Structure 1
């Protein structure tokens, strides 16, 4: 992909991979330019979402970004806090993240996933006004949907390795599987 092709993808939207009855709706901060150019979530080669999802036991094998629709067979989905693509998440304004949180809450109310997993605790803090939120399960719910803040799988997040991220993602998987039918309120 050329620099020009990537720049042409700026501000594009990558369609959500969603359905009703999801066990977990994973939520990125916003699409990268490569994700927008390809139409596939978490498409940057340095992004660790797909390997971590497999290491955590959510998928039986490592999926490629182009196989994102297969997530629905595992009752998993993907969306973003902010829909527009940028080269870096730090290009988003606080106002965009707050508005994205409002839109995300409405989406969750409509889809009613069992868990919303926001991959980026800093973005979660801003979008939901939870300044002290830490990685892990949150007190806040959206209707009956529980929320889990996950580490950002970007390769720029050097504080977390794929292995330590996989352990946190696996904690979420265990919680999602522990309630009857995977439903925390069942």
Structure 2
């Protein structure tokens, strides 16, 4: 889901099994991407994964670093993530979104060789958000939504 001149292009790590089966980003029940997107003010209501095409109506898009479906993101190789980082740079040059937000700090660190990156704005012009998977216990939904809201404010 991408178009020229987006406010934000969200970039997940890769499709999990549920997303791979449905063809929708962040589709697994319990994934907090869609609730965080709404609670942060990016969307006026909470979209469902099968409504992902409506992201474009709000100047938002979504893609993945790696297209390969896996049960867990840690099944991806560093080479796959680095190649995904290159592809993301190419998408940025072609579509010129205001921000690209990589959703997952560990994947960002590997894909862009930034071993000490933290959540937030990065020196390379990208933004890093916490992984919204329900398995990420470090960020509960209110804290996750606040990180998304910081990006929303920066994106205008």
TM-score range, shorter chain: over 0.9
Structure 1, gaps ≥5 residues long? 1-16, 142-146, 178-186
Structure 1 Cα separation of the partners of residues 61 and 83 of structure 2: 21
Cα deviation digits, residues 119-156 of structure 1 (max 9, x gap): 00110010001111100001113xxxxx1100000111
Q: Which TM-score applies when normalising by structure 1?
A: 0.83
Alignment of 1:38-57 (within 5 A): 38-57=22-41
CA drift at 1:21: 1.0
Q: Which TM-score applies when normalising by structure 2?
A: 0.98
CA drift at 1:97: 0.6
Runs of 4+ in structure 1 deviating by more than 6 angstroms, as ranges, are none
Task: Pick from 139, 148, 151 the counterpart of residue 160 of structure 1.
Answer: 139
The root-mean-square deviation of aligned C-alpha atoms, in Å, is 0.6
Structure 1 Cα separation of the partners of residues 141 and 25 of structure 2: 18
Aligned equivalent of 1:65: 49
CA drift at 1:24: 0.1
Structure 1 Cα separation of the partners of residues 67 and 90 of structure 2: 14
Task: Select the structure with the greater relative contact order (CA < 8 A; seq sep ≥ 6).
Answer: 2
Aligned residues: 156
Instruction: Tell me which structure has the larger Cα radius of gyration.
Output: 1
